[in-house]
Amino acid sequence: MKISILFVDDEKDVIDGYKRMLFSMRKFWDQHFAISGEEALNILAGNNIDVIISDMKMPVMDGTVLLGKVKELYPHILRIILSGHQDEIKIIMTTTLAHQFLLKPCDTNKIKQVVENAFSMRNNLENEKLLSIINGIGQLPTIPELYLEIEELMKFPDVSLDKISKVISRDPSITAKLLQTVNSAFFGLPRRVTNILEALSFLGTNTIKSLILYLQSFTGRNLPAEAITYYENIGNHSLQVAMIAKEIGKYEKQDKQVLDDIYISGILHDIGKLILMQVPDYFGKMIELTTVKKLKSIEAESRLLGVTHEWAGAYLLGIWGLPSTVLEAIAYHHNPSKINTANFSALTAIHVANAFYYFKEESFTEKKPDLDFDYLKNLNLISNLENWWNSTKIYREPIHE
């Protein structure tokens, strides 16, 4: 199936450049071009568009206004900013309107890579309503108390970024938005960043303050108490899985980048549960199926929506531009055998850590955790399980804030 893409820029020379640059992609992409926001909206009204790539700074209707309208009218569309604009605050604001930000000039291979990566998880989401909801998400609700903690910390001029990173680690939503922001092309980092402390260091105190202030409007103040408790439980569970998984990675003597990927995958592995909460009436139906009918949560998800939280999370973070190693760990953490690999990875650590978290027996040999033993056998890691179990004991204790 061809992908249908709309390019928008008020400069005709830029549009002509796109046409030349992307000529070879005509057999893969249906390409549309507009030189104003108004023309873009007319094209959208008459065509089935999958992706819009727009300049930010345009007269009459700029890119942020246009993408705001697209988000409202056509939430299923993937939204990308491609601009030379250098306003840091403006870039932060676009993170809730655009899924990704690319910096001009941008070559064909980069555009192609971004579009294909964003669509790589889409085939696993057959629920069109859910797809529109996920594509329409700019920011997930977060725990209000965490913002208050961060605000208090940020009042001190010599604030420790390490302290801020520990607070952020308790909230998958803030973590995901932070990584989306720091890894955007605007900041031009030489490598991808999956370490929260490094992300904060790259952004700097002023940008962190601006980002946190902007994201405050998306806190879950209007959520019912039971939903906030649910969010907090997911945050605490995710942090614990991240710590267990990272310890497993250390035991396996993985390098820093892999350990960073492992930890951030742990923080984000259940973010799909927060995403599914955006579906109207979902939470009440979910509670009924899991408490009254005693279904496992993953079974209830599948029955209600035809998709489970792993794929919802991996898809959203994929269109936000997070790295493939993290997406793989999130998408397959319940079923790692679906990945054909012979190597230890973030996926391995998250799968085992998640199973360890739920395994409440005192002795590892007394009753086996809910693990994919065929997957671990293929990686020749069965013999390591008890050592991992013993080395992670301290991280399996309940977190008390």
**CATH classification at residue 39:** 3.40.50.2300
Q: Give dist(CA 378, CA 351) in Å, integer.
A: 15
Write the CATH number for 236: 1.10.3210.10
- In terms of domains, do 276 and 312 share one? yes
SS (H, E, C) 173-215: HHHHHHHHHHCCHHHCCCCCCCCHHHHHHHHCHHHHHHHHHHH
Q: Give dist(CA 99, CA 91) in Å, integer.
A: 12
Burial environment of residue 251 by CB neighbours within 10 A (0 to 12, 13 to 18, 19 or more)? middle
- In terms of domains, do 287 and 199 share one? no
Q: Is the pLDDT of residue 217 over 70?
A: no
The single-letter DSSP state of residue 383 is G
Q: Give dist(CA 3, CA 5) in Å, integer.
A: 6
- Which residue segment(s) compose the domain that 177 sits in? 144-218
Domain contains 70: yes
- In terms of domains, do 165 and 64 share one? no
Q: Report pLDDT digits (tens) over 237-251.
A: 999 999 999 999 999
Instruction: Please answer whether residues 327 and 284 qualify as being in contact, where contact means their C-beta atoms are separated by less than 8 angstroms.
Output: no
- In terms of domains, do 188 and 52 share one? no
- In terms of domains, do 211 and 237 share one? no
Q: Is the pLDDT of residue 162 over 60?
A: yes
Q: Report pLDDT digits (tens) over 248-284.
A: 999 999 999 999 999 999 999 999 999 998 888 888 8
Alpha helices in 277-364 (DSSP H): 282-287, 297-305, 309-319, 324-331, 346-358
- In terms of domains, do 246 and 388 share one? yes
Q: Report pLDDT digits (tens) over 368-377.
A: 788 999 999 9
- In terms of domains, do 244 and 211 share one? no
The phi and psi torsions of 194 (rounded to 5 degrees) equal -125, 15
pLDDT of residue 49: 96
Given phi > 0 = left and psi -120 to 50 = alpha, else beta, which region is 350? alpha
Chain mean position to CA 284 = 25
Of 203-212, 311-320, 324-333, 369-378, which gets the smallest average pLDDT?
Answer: 203-212
pLDDT of residue 401: 44
Domain contains 322: yes
Q: Is the pLDDT of residue 355 over 80?
A: yes
Domain contains 134: no
Domain contains 233: yes
Domain contains 304: yes
pLDDT of residue 400: 47
Strand-strand pairing, 100-103 and 51-54: unpaired
Instruction: Please answer whether residues 52 and 78 qualify as being in contact, where contact means their C-beta atoms are separated by less than 8 angstroms.
Output: yes
pLDDT of residue 130: 84
Q: Report pLDDT digits (tens) over 83-116.
A: 876 666 667 777 788 898 888 888 888 888 888 8
Maximum average pLDDT range among 185-189, 194-198, 277-281, 395-399: 194-198
- In terms of domains, do 157 and 238 share one? no
Domain contains 139: no
Q: Is the pLDDT of residue 219 over 70?
A: no
Instruction: Please answer whether residues 232 and 143 qualify as being in contact, where contact means their C-beta atoms are separated by less than 8 angstroms.
Output: yes
Domain boundary among the residues 74, 104, 119 is at 119
Q: What's the whole-model pTM score? A: 0.87
- In terms of domains, do 198 and 236 share one? no
Triad 143, 145, 146: Cα angle to 5°: 70
10-16: long-range contacts, CB 8 A cutoff, minimum separation 24: 10/35, 10/36, 10/55, 10/58, 10/59, 11/35, 11/55, 14/55
The phi and psi torsions of 92 (rounded to 5 degrees) equal -60, -40
Q: Report pLDDT digits (tens) over 21-47.
A: 888 888 889 999 999 999 999 999 999
Q: What helix, strand, coil percent values describe the chain, rounded to 5?
A: 60, 5, 35
Q: Give dist(CA 189, CA 138) in Å, integer.
A: 23
- In terms of domains, do 310 and 171 share one? no
Mean pLDDT score, 316-339: 93
- In terms of domains, do 231 and 197 share one? no
The phi and psi torsions of 115 (rounded to 5 degrees) equal -65, -45
Structure-block tokens of residue 203:
């952004």
Q: Is the pLDDT of residue 56 over 60?
A: yes
- In terms of domains, do 309 and 374 share one? yes
Find residue 53's DSSP bridge partners.
7, 80
Domain contains 269: yes
Q: Is the pLDDT of residue 57 over 60?
A: yes
Chain mean position to CA 242 = 15
Domain contains 136: no
Which residues does 312 contact at the CB level (< 8 Å), separation at least 6? 125, 130, 134, 272, 275, 276
Instruction: Please answer whether residues 275 and 309 qualify as being in contact, where contact means their C-beta atoms are separated by less than 8 angstroms.
Output: yes
Q: Is the pLDDT of residue 142 over 70?
A: yes
DSSP-derived 3-state class of residue 122: helix
Total domains in the chain come to: 3
Tell me the C-alpha to C-alpha distance, in Å, between residue 322 and each of 177, 277, 339.
Answer: 10, 21, 19
